[in-house]
A and B are shown apart, each in its own frame.
Chain A
């Protein structure tokens, strides 16, 4: 009897491991920054380089921090989704223009539309390192106290907006 059950058990164990392996996303590394204060920066604005923005300017507001670049191909597929989201005015959308040429970045916004309330420049990638950015696009949700509550790696899809972002933003807007 054992002779038949043992191979079957082995097969089941193997199948379970392989099935789990298929559903893993090794590219998505959980961020240790969740529930931590947003890393500080003071960075020039893309459209007005003499002005600077820092996370403290956004205290008391719920904001999205979207890392993008004109050289990033998956940002292009994400862009219409952000444009749509911006129309709903659910939260402030701050863009981090990551390791990009400012002229190319402005051209991209002029051509594809600008969903960002403001974009800041991170030409040498230092803000990116502080935020643990390893792949563009990435999107963080920051609450009114300036704490990071959620991180999304990769392009945001309309489903993500409906199922994750909007409910979370509504919840955070209701907090004091």
Chain B
């Protein structure tokens, strides 16, 4: 069983290597920009992957596009702009804050606030209800004690 799994892993690792693209960069900054950009751009075919992760053909084409534009000395902003001009804000994993994307950015905060307010109101109501119950109980006890005392 162990031998079989080792053989399987070896075979599979070959496939993993075959998918790697070889790119040469003029300097480390360029390589960093390439890695940043490809992990910030969405693959539009398989929408929950970045173009760095995806094996789709379009992702490979977009990686090539990013690489070529970096080689031409284009900045990260230029390349992000190039992509949004063609595919819209959706292509960015970090969309800019605008009217259209406002709900996306503010939504979670709004829901958190609603949750906090609900918890606060709920807790407060429970507390007051509990005290009322306590006093009613106590009152009865006090009364019975008083009556006994007579």
Which residue numbers of A lie inside 8 Å of B, CB to CB? 26-27, 29-33, 99, 124-126, 128-132, 134-135
Residue of B nearest to A27 (CB): B47
Contact (Cβ within 8 A) B44 A33: no
- Tally B residues with Cβ within 8 Å of A: 14
With both chains docked as a complex, state the minimum distance between the C-beta of A174 and any C-beta of chain B, in angstroms. Answer: 30
Contact (Cβ within 8 A) A29 B87: yes
Does B45 have its Cβ within 8 Å of any Cβ on chain A? yes
CB neighbours of A135 from chain B (8 A): 44-45
Which residue numbers of B lie inside 8 Å of A, CB to CB? 44-45, 47, 57-58, 61-62, 65, 84-88, 90
Interface of chain B, main secondary structure:
helix
CB neighbours of A128 from chain B (8 A): 61
A129→B85 CA distance, assembly (Å): 10
Residue of B nearest to A124 (CB): B61
**Which of A29, A124, A131 lies in contact with B44, CB distance below 8 A?**
A29
CB neighbours of A27 from chain B (8 A): 47
Known A-B contacts A134-B45, A135-B45; A33 and B61 likewise in contact (beta carbons under 8 Å)? no
Contact (Cβ within 8 A) B44 A130: no
Contact (Cβ within 8 A) A32 B47: no
Contact (Cβ within 8 A) A32 B44: no
Contact (Cβ within 8 A) A129 B90: no
Known A-B contacts A134-B44, A135-B45; A32 and B88 likewise in contact (beta carbons under 8 Å)? yes
